[in-house]
Every structure is written in C-alpha cells, then in structure tokens.
Amino acid sequence: MKNIRNFCIIAHIDHGKSTLADRLLDFTGSVTDREKQDQLLDNMDLERERGITIKSHAIQMEYTYKGEQYILNLIDTPGHVDFSYEVSRSIAACEGALLIVDAAQSIQAQTISNLYLALENDLEIIPVLNKIDLPSANPEEVTDDIVDLLGCDPSEVIPASGKTGLGVEDILSAIIERIPAPQGNPEEPLQALIFDSVYNPFRGVETYFRVINGSIKKGQNIKFIATGKTYFADEVGTLKLTQVKKQEIKAGDVGYLITGIKDAREVKVGDTITDAKEPTKNAISGFEDVKPMVFAGIYPVDTEDYEELRASMEKLQLNDASLVFAPESSAALGFGFRCGFLGMLHLEIIQERLEREFDMTVITTVPNVSYHAFTNKNPDDIVIVNNPSDLPEPSTLNRVEEPFIKATIITKADFVGPVMSLCIEKRGQITNQTYLTTERVELSFDMPLAEIVFDFYDRLKTVSKGYASFDYSPIGMRASKLVRVDILLNAQTVDALSALVHTDNAYTIGKKMTEKLKELIPRQQFDIPVQAAIGAKIIARETIKALRKDVTAKCYGGDISRKRKLLEKQKKGKKRMRQVGNVEIPQQAFMAVLKLND
C-alpha cells in the first residue's frame, strides 16, 4: 500500500488540466502511440466539441521511481463552476492534488474555490505553473501570486508545459515524495467509497470506487449500505485506458465493480460498499447533498415517451449525480419532470446528452430558481416555490424570499467599471474590492441568484473582453419584492412561460417577452393577442396579425359597400376561428425568452 498514490488535478477552466494529464500518461507509458490523442481522457463527444471537461475521469498509471514500482491513480476534474460537484467527489477519493495555474492568465476565481475544497479535505497541494512556453507567460509574477495564495516556498512551485512535456518528470517525483500513501487497514472488513458510476447497456451499472479498508475480491458477496441490498461481485478490476480485470483490489486502491445491476436507482454516488457477511460498523461519510441552483421543466415532445424519458434520466443521473428531478405536469406541455441543475451550462449539457446518448428530443421550459413564499394566513409556514405557478395569489402573499449568492469576480483593473455596472444592473451590492496586484482586482458582490441564471456569465465575459473569472457560493435567503409575470396567448395563460421577476423589472421584461414571442410564433388564420400580465392586470400587449386571403379581389370598381360586406363576412369568420383556435408554441419560443438582451 505504501507504493500507491491517489491524486487529482484541479484548476480553472482552460488552464491545461487535460493536456497535462496526457503528458503524464505518455511519460509513464500508460498509452501506446496508437491510442494517443489530445485530451485523451475526455471521451465524450460533447467534451471534445466544446473543449471542456464535463466528467471526472479516473485512470491508473504505473511508474518506476528510484528502482521501486509505484501505482498512481489520477483523476482529471472539470474546471467550470457548474461541475464543481464532480470536483468535490474526486477530491474525496484522493490524498493529494495538483493545483495547476496558467502562467499567462495567473490565478482565477475557480482556482481559489477548488483550492479551498481541497484544503477542507486535508489534501497535500502540489502547485504547478503550466504553459510556461507561451510567449505571453509571466512565470516570476505568477509564482509570487501562488506563493501568496498557498504560503509555500517558491522552490515548491513546479514550472511545466503540458504542450512540450517540460517538467513532467519533476511533477511525478513530487507526487511520489510529497503526497502521502493512503491510510487504511487491509485486515478490517471491506469499506469502499463509490465516487462515480456509469451505465453500460450490456453489462448493467459499472461502479467506480476507492477502497478505504479491507479488500474486494471477485466473486465476493457485497452489500451497498444506503440501499441495504446485497450483490455478487461478477468482476472487479482497475481503470487503465481500458478496464483491466483483477482477482482482488486492496485498501488504498481505486477500481471498478460490475454486479449486473440493471436498475439505475440502486446505485448512489457517495454510498459505502461493504462485505455482506461481515459488514463494516461505520459507513463512510459521503459527500454533502448537492444543492441545485437552477430549476427547469423537461418534457418529452411526444407525451407517450414519458416513461422512456424517466429511464433515460435515471441512467444519466448515475453518471452525473448532481442532476435532481421530480415528476410534474403542465397544462401546456403534459407530463414531464422538474429538474434541478447546478447552472445554465449544466442544463444545456444535460439536454444535449439526453438527445445524443438516449435519442430523446425534449422541450425545456424557462429556468428559474427556488423561492420561499410566506402567506398572511400563517406567516411562519414556508411555501417552497420551484415553479412560478406555485406562487400564492398576490392578495394572500405576505412576502417572498429569494436565494442570494456571494459572487467573486477577478478581473483586470481596466474593466472594473463595466463589471460593476453589470452587477449593479443585476441588483448586486458590492461588499468588497481588493487589488490582488496593480493589474488584477477581486470584486465581491451579494447578488440574487435569479439574476445570474440566464445570461450573466456571457455578458460578464463580453464586458471584460473574456478576462473576468467568476465563482459563486450561496449565502441564504433574503426578502425581495417579486411578482409573477404571466404570458397569455389568445387569452389563455401559458404556464410554461410564466416567470418570477423583481417588481422594478416587471414592465420591461413583460414588454420584451411579448415582442419576442410576436416574432417567433407563426401567424395563424386569426389574430393572436400576446399579453403579459401581473395577476389580472395586463402590462404589455402585442398582436400577431392573421394571414388573410384577399376577398375583395373579385370586386373591380363598383360600390364600396360591396367590398365592405365581404370584409365584414371575413372578419366574422376570423372571430369564430379565434374562439376555437389553439396556438402551437415552437421550442425556440421557450428558449428565446432567456435571451431577452440579445
């Protein structure tokens, strides 16, 4: 066990985690020349297309150092704030972390938040200065920043380049010398932590685990503590580039387990695996429950696909434990699910993965956050509002509280003005402003989560020319003046388009929504009024004009009353149509409501 090292790679987006992981794999000879490709561990099409890591990827390497053979278990983690839950799970399965900082971009918001996550779990941190071969790199200055942040010695910072492979040998020797070997007792009953799982249509659920105490053998009867069910270990092994079967995996090591489970609900990430005959007395404290930030409804396009969508979501949840969902129904869209996501990118990725991996075409409603409402009848009882239609009537409402976050933005000094005005426009209050260096400023804001859900991140990147980095953490609920804006089409409320907004913005948002829908909804045979309302009060209206046949074409000249008679007849027909007509809303309309500022 003293020759095992478990470590993960943490960094901000685009600081070169996956590329450096490639170099480590090359250097230890874990991949053959034929298998080599850039960002080798990013095996999902989506990850390759977007150039981001979405899933943590575990892989085992073997390396001989000073004549001894070592086993290195590496977990490459995502950098985006929406996937921080993946990072927290990877950190729980490790003893050390490589903290990678880009020599050209220096320390960013996500670097700091991932570092704190690692320090909370008492991991040994190895700072790595990456991309030092870039012409724009500032190694001395960034090394000073790292030393200030970590309080380490400048000599401990390893200069490296994921592109050229410089410094990889130093990183490997630092991993072996600085990161402690896993602690655990091979003689105790089996105790293993599940940190990930994936669904294989041929073999059932594949579970990835880290053994804390004891060992797990092929053919052993095992038990999952959270569900209390017992299984037979058909196959265990280690995770190299492909799975390698083993007879036994001992304490401190990482591996996979196949038990032929077909029901995705039976495996919980963060659960403890133990022996069925001699179970361990204490379960491992898993990860804290995930707190979804953004809620949206996901509905199948065809109502008959509801059960299939449920099965797909359960399989997806195995692979992405931060997805939370519960069934709900909507008057406009039928049966579907209310899903909780960690952010807008997460929502987008889940929707893409449902389409690609499970062939499910879905409709997503306007995302919103979870509010607390209090009524006059019993002011102490909280009504949780995940869906705008759950909000009690304005007449009975006492107050509404919405979730606030502490936003940390690190930006260049030149962009402080535009960043501040963006945050203030989004109802943010500045709480702190610190100059990290003469060029870089850290701004802290208290902001409502609802305001950053839609387009905040994109606009922040725009006003700062791509230089600002952003991270947030929840700070609880605060009272706000919120109202529900309903959209009426042809005098029918469309519940899927309702939104909870701040009173001051209600009129502007109502007006923008009606204008946007006027462009997007196709014209029908009758006039369609598009209205925005708060309660019974209409605050904005647009009309989608009817498609009309030229009924006066056959009148050439003659008395005007003949033309008028034909037009009146047409008008009556249109009115009758409007009473029975029903308006189809295209999918773009649901998504376009989010992009009101475009």
Residue list for the binding site for GTP: 14-19, 130-133
Task: Label the pairing between strands 191-200 and 383-385.
Answer: unpaired
Query: Nearest CA to 587 among 312, 355, 385?
Result: 355
Q: What is the C-alpha R_g of the chain? A: 28
Which residue's structure tokens are 């209390």?
228
Pair 115, 98: CB distance under 8 Å? no
Residue 61 to residue 336: CA distance in whole angstroms:
44
Pair 532, 511: CB distance under 8 Å? yes
How many angstroms separate the Cα of 552 from the Cα of each of 339, 523, 526, 558, 566? 53, 21, 18, 11, 7
Backbone angles phi, psi at 20, to 5 degrees: -70, -35
CA 478 to chain centre: 24
Residue 271 to residue 470: CA distance in whole angstroms:
32
Return binding residues: 14-19, 130-133
Query: Nearest CA to 295 among 328, 325, 332?
Result: 325
CA 233 to chain centre: 32
Max intra-chain CA distance, the chain: 108
CA 383 to chain centre: 26
Residue 37 to residue 526: CA distance in whole angstroms:
57
Pair 292, 350: CB distance under 8 Å? no
Residue 78 to residue 57: CA distance in whole angstroms:
9
Contacts (Cβ under 8 Å, ≥6 apart) of 3: 68, 69, 70, 71, 181
Contacts (Cβ under 8 Å, ≥6 apart) of 395: none
Backbone angles phi, psi at 70, to 5 degrees: -115, 150
3-state SS of 238-304? Answer: EECCCEEEECEEECCCEEEEECCCCCHHHCCCCCEEEECCCCCCCCCCCCCCCCCCEEEEEEECCHH
Helix axis angle for 168-178 and 17-27, nearest 10°, is 90
Query: Nearest CA to 482 among 343, 331, 369?
Result: 369
List 564's β-bridge partners, or say none.
Answer: none
CA 428 to chain centre: 23
Residue 456 to residue 129: CA distance in whole angstroms:
30
Question: Residue length, the chain?
Answer: 598
Residues 91, 94, 100, 106, CA torsion sign: positive
Query: Nearest CA to 547 among 525, 564, 571?
Result: 525
Which residue's structure tokens are 């060029």?
439
Pair 74, 21: CB distance under 8 Å? yes
